[in-house]
Each structure stands twice: as C-alpha cells, then as structure tokens.
Amino acid sequence: MLRVSSVQSRADLRRFIALPYALYRDDPGWIAPLRSEQAKLFTPRGDPLLAHCDYALFLLWDDNRVVGRVAAFVDHLAIDFWQERVGFWGSYECVDSLEGARLLLDAAEGFLRQQGMAEMRGPINFTVTEWGLVTEGFEYPPVLMSPYNPAYYNTQMEALGMRKAKDLLAFYGDIGEGYAIPERFTRALERVAQRYHVTVRPVEMKHLKRDALIVVDIMNHSVAYNWGAYPVTEEEGRRLAKDLKQIIDPAFALIAEVEGRPIGFCLTLPDLNQLLKGLDGRLTPRLIWRLAFGLKRVRNYRCWALGLLPEYHGKGIDALLYYRTFQAAQARQARVEVNYVLEDNIKMLAPLAKLGVKHIKTYRVYTKAL
C-alpha cells in the first residue's frame, strides 16, 4: 500500500538522499553524483540556499520500502524579488506509478498551500543549476549539475494537471567532431571587442573569492532580464568559490572588462560526470585518483552561466564571451555544452545560432495554480 510521510529524522533524511542511487542502479544513462555532496544540499549548514527558505521533504512508501521522494520549499528571496506567491517543488523521484506521483505532488501542494502560495513550479532543486525534466535528448548523458530522469516523469506531470511553464534548451559544439567557429563571425566579434574596448581575462585563482563575488554581482544585476531568476546571496557566492576551487579551469572561466571594470562573465566547467561514471557516488580511492590525475584530461565542458550588466546588453558582448570560450575549446579539442538557455531568450539564442552549435536537449519546468 502506498503512503507518504514527511522526513522527520536523520534516518528519514538518509533514505531521502539514498533513493536515486537505488532507483537508477541499473540505468546506464544515469551518472551518480557524489553522495557526500548530495547530503549537504538538504541541511542548512551545508546549503546556504536553505537559510532563506522554508521547506519540507516527503517520502513515498510502498509498505516498508521507499519508492519516491519530493521536496517543497518557499524561497523568500524569490518572493521578495518577484512579488509573486510562487513556491517550488523539486528533488523529485518516483517509481512508475501515477498514484505514487499523485501522493507526492499532493503532499508538496499541501505544504505550499499552507505557506500561502498561489502557484507551484518545478522541478527546481535546492541547487541553483538543476531545473526541469528532460523532455527530449535522452540519448545524451547528463553533464555536471544537470537533471536526469526517465521519460515517464513527464507523463506523470501531464496526467496530474501540470502544464508547461518554460522550456530550457541545451546546445553543443565539439571541436573533435569538426566543429569550427564561422570565420565571418570571428571577424565581427573582434570588431565588437575593439568598438566597446572590451578585454576578456580568465579568473585569477589567487583571487578566486574576489572573482566569484564579481560573478555574483554581475549575475544579480542581470537577473531581472531572465525568467525565473532572482538574486544570489554573498554567502552563496562564497560557497560557489569554495566548491569550484578544485575543478575550475581558468581558461574557461572568463570575465569581460571595460577599462578595468567587470561588465560580464562566462563560466564554463569541466564535466566531472566523466570521472564519476560507474562509481555509485562514493568517494573511493579510485575516484580520488581520477580527480587528481584525470581532471586535466577531461575534454567535455558545460557552459554553466553567462551574465552581462544591463547597459551592455544587445552589443554582442555575450557572443564575444561565447567566442572566447570556444577558442579555449579549440586549443583543447574539447566539446562544450551550453546548458541551458531559455526557449524565448532571443538575445542568447541568436549568437548561438550564428556560432552554429547544435540543439541536443530540452528540459521543461512545470507549473500549477494552487
């Protein structure tokens, strides 16, 4: 018999965190994230996002076995910024059972109603990078900090009255497969750099905290132009610097400046999933060896975020940052996945089209009025 309970104890939280590792054990497409990092996401001490959230975690049981989970949360920074009563649900996992999915989403809906929300939107996870369910492109493996799910999750959402809020798109260019930046585009972008006196530099590892806060500041000034985005706290910026210190590749972490003033950034990360594959999320000596000696050989990268100060929108500087990123990829014979771009963000889609990168995956965020 299926039933739902809220997470009340450490044992419940361990069950919540462990569930995906059991559900996807025999799925060759899933790449297990580090268990230790996942554990941090669900405690206020480990995840600074939770400092400004009210949240609840729920488990779906089939007799004495956990077969599903969901998180529901209200982010007060988002509400203050949007001036809309929108709550989130995420960290969703469920067996192929419509009744089980209904029980989980009803629990999330009930919590959000109690918090006075008028809309529930998701899946949006506690990390700032994992939004939506994969709706197409299942044949491509998930890159670092991106969602993964079976196709039937979308069937569950549609059957339970969820509707599309927004699609998010992923693109890629692979230098090893012959991708090259169109020459006419490179000439135009060099003119952009000269016209606006833009220089692009890598982040400085000796001053990573400083540069991380620069990225956060630019991101927060540009969020008003992006659907679903809202400001990131300084503490979240410091955590970002700490988390990325061991993996960041300065050649792919770029800051654009005009006369020494930072005005934009493009942050592209090595796809650690290449190193995590087959290790079941455990920090074993094998993984430590891979991280120590294999990171420099990773040739897959995820373009994780790009931002510009509002006064520099529409000048081609975003395309310039993409161009510099693919120049770095050229030197490494690398594959870069731009993951992800809002389906109606013409300002970002236009330069990507000119770059000739390929659309490979779509993620969908769902919504429901409460």
pLDDT along the chain (370 residues), means of 10: 95 96 93 88 80 93 96 92 93 97 98 97 84 95 92 97 96 87 81 90 89 88 76 77 80 93 93 84 74 77 90 89 88 88 86 86 97
Give me the numbers of helices (H) and strands (E) for the chain, helices first please.
12, 13
Classify 308 as helix, strand or coil: strand
| Distance (Å, whole) CA 304 – CA 20 | 24
Q: How much is the pLDDT for 39?
A: 87
Q: How far is CA 103 from the centre of its chain?
A: 27
Helix (H) or strand (E) holding 189: helix 183-195
**pLDDT for position 347:** 80
**Cβ–Cβ < 8 Å for 330, 301:** no
Whole-model pTM?
Answer: 0.91
Residue carrying structure tokens 């009563």:
85
- Specify burial of residue 320 (Cβ count, 10 A radius: 0-12, 13-18, 19+): buried
- pLDDT score, position 225: 64
Q: For residue 357, which of 155, 130, 178, 89 has the smallest C-alpha distance? A: 178
Look at residue 331 in the predicted model and tell me its pLDDT: 84
Contact yes or no for 359/111 (Cβ under 8 A): no
CA-CA distance, 279 to 198, in Å (whole number)? Answer: 43
pLDDT at 212 (0 to 100): 87
pLDDT of the residue at 188: 83
Contact by Cβ (8 Å): 238, 212:
yes
Residue-wise pLDDT for 21-65, tens only, equals 999 999 999 999 888 888 888 887 777 778 888 999 999 999 999
Give the model's pLDDT for residue 187: 83
Parallel/antiparallel/unpaired status of strands 300-308 and 335-342: parallel
Instruction: Give whole-number Cα distances, 138 to 23, 133, 166, 272, 357, in Å.
Output: 17, 11, 18, 19, 18
Domains defined for the chain, CATH in brackets? 2-127 (3.40.630.30), 173-361 (3.40.630.30)
Return the residue matching tokens 């992923």.
170
- pLDDT at residue 135, as a whole number: 97
Task: DSSP letter for 126, please.
Answer: S
pLDDT in tens, 305-362: 888 999 998 888 988 998 899 888 888 888 999 888 899 988 888 888 888 889 999 9
The confidence score (pLDDT) of residue 201 equals 94
